[in-house]
């Protein structure tokens, strides 16, 4: 670990406990899987997650193992691909998010390599786009990815404080955003989701809010600020939208999931700081399937939990370890930002 990162982590991190179940409805665990390691079905920092509805498969980026793992909807391991690397197709340098296109192609955000790679469902490489920089189609720590019904691809460009939009083959369409806290501005935006009506939702992480745009990047509305009450966030990391247009946010520092309607009205929340069923230790990625089941990755706990809105809590299938912590600030020193503190600082050697 670099000395500067270690100093920043020690100065800026605190443990944030929380117990929170509120709003209408209940959410229970119907499946859970994962443990720390590098074997099949084990994780070292599971991050983004996506559902392939046509095949009923779950894709997870295993960030510090530099790979993608595939499971069925109950958590049974199916396949994996990827290895550490900096240049070659199919190599990853800390991938952070994943999305499945209507065509079935799987797109992976290759964070430290500043690019996006596309694969078929079997992990065969198809294409890549992006390189380091500030120009159109270039990235400085791309982090989140979403694909709309038309197949267009949206990527959060974290250190460039913007969202970029591409065609399915990686051709640049447009970009929006700049550094700041006003409407349409970002401070380390991470997660991104496309709603069923084509709206784009962004987890504006350091601004502790969610922003909503149309598919061209026109600002529509925002909600949230720093705190632990309903509709408040401490470093929201990822975001997902269901078939009804409801929006799900991983509220990382509060160790909970919050649910809103498409207008940002609070609907429900669940979660607590811990390692038991329905508790979280660093909730990170989130996805919702067509049946309304919610899948959440826990970066610090190295597991995945699957929730149903009408389920009874069941035991997890492994004993996760780790401690979730939340950064109090972010130092913009040569790219040492929230993503690098969070990704590299907590567990990476």
CB contact at 8 A, 270 and 256 = yes
CB contact at 8 A, 200 and 214 = yes
Q: What angle do CA 220, 23, 279 make, to 5 degrees?
A: 100
Three-class SS state of 262: coil
> How confident is residue 22, by pLDDT bands cut at 50, 70 and 90?
low
Q: What is the pLDDT of residues 38-84, one digit of tens each?
A: 999 999 999 999 999 988 999 999 999 999 999 999 999 999 999 99
What is the spatial order of strands in the sheet that 46-52 belongs to?
46-52, 57-62, 67-72, 77-81
- Judged against a pLDDT cut of 70, whether residue 330 lies above it is answered with no
Q: What is the pLDDT of residues 160-185, one digit of tens each?
A: 999 999 999 999 999 999 999 999 99
Provide the pLDDT for residue 319. Answer: 39
Q: What is the pTM of this model?
A: 0.87
CB contact at 8 A, 311 and 347 = no
Q: Considering only residues 342 and 181, tell me which one the structure prediction assigns the higher pLDDT.
A: 181
Q: What tokens were used for 17?
A: 């406990």
Q: What is the pLDDT of residues 220-241, one digit of tens each?
A: 999 999 999 999 999 999 999 9
Q: How far apart are CA 156 and CA 146, in angstroms?
A: 9
- Judged against a pLDDT cut of 80, whether residue 308 lies above it is answered with yes
Q: What is the CATH number of domain 27-309?
A: 2.120.10.30
- The candidate with the shortest Cα–Cα distance to 49, out of 20, 73, 16, 85, is 73
Q: What tokens were used for 126?
A: 């198809």
- Judged against a pLDDT cut of 70, whether residue 315 lies above it is answered with no
How far lies 332's CA from each of 2, 160, 187, 205, 239, in Å?
A: 16, 11, 10, 14, 24
For residue 153, count CB atoms less than 10 angstroms from its CB and return exposed for 0-12, middle for 13-18, buried for 19 or more.
buried
Q: How far apart are CA 194 and CA 73, in angstroms?
A: 21
Residue 291: partners with Cβ closer than 8 Å, 6 or more residues away: none
> How confident is residue 309, by pLDDT bands cut at 50, 70 and 90?
confident
Q: What tokens were used for 281?
A: 């230790």
What's the mean per-residue pLDDT of the chain? Answer: 87
């Amino acid at each position: 670990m670099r000395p500067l990162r270690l100093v920043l982590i020690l100065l800026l991190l605190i443990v944030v406990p929380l117990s929170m179940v509120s709003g209408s409805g209940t959410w229970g665990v119907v499946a859970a899987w994962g443990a720390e390691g590098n074997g099949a079905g084990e994780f070292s920092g599971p991050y983004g997650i996506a559902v392939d509805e046509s095949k009923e498969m779950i894709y997870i980026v295993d960030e510090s193992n530099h790979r993608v793992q595939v499971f069925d909807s109950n958590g049974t391991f199916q396949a994996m691909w990827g290895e550490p690397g900096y240049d070659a197709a199919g190599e990853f340098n800390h991938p952070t998010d994943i999305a499945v296109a209507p065509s079935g192609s799987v797109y992976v955000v290759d964070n430290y390599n500043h690019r996006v790679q596309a694969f078929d469902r079997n992990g065969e490489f198809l294409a890549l786009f992006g390189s380091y920089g500030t120009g159109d189609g270039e990235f400085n720590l791309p982090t989140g990815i979403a694909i709309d019904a038309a197949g267009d691809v949206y990527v959060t460009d974290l250190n460039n404080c913007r969202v970029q939009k591409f065609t399915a083959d990686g051709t640049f369409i447009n970009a929006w955003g700049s550094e700041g806290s006003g409407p349409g501005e970002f401070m380390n935006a991470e997660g991104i989701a496309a709603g069923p009506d084509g709206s784009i939702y962004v987890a504006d992480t350091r601004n502790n809010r969610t922003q909503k745009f149309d598919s061209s990047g026109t600002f529509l509305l925002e909600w949230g600020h720093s705190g632990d009450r309903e509709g408040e966030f401490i470093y929201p990391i990822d975001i997902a939208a269901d078939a009804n247009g409801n929006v799900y946010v991983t509220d990382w520092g509060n160790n909970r999931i919050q649910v809103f309607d498409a207008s940002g009205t609070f609907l429900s929340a669940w979660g607590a700081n811990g390692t038991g069923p329905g508790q979280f230790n660093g909730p990170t990625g989130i996805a919702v399937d067509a049946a309304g089941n919610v899948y959440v990755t826990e970066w610090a706990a190295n597991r995945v939990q699957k929730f149903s809105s009408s389920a009874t809590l069941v035991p997890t299938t492994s004993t996760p370890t780790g401690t979730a912590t939340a950064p109090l600030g972010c130092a913009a020193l040569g790219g040492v930002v929230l993503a690098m503190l969070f990704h590299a600082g907590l567990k990476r050697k």
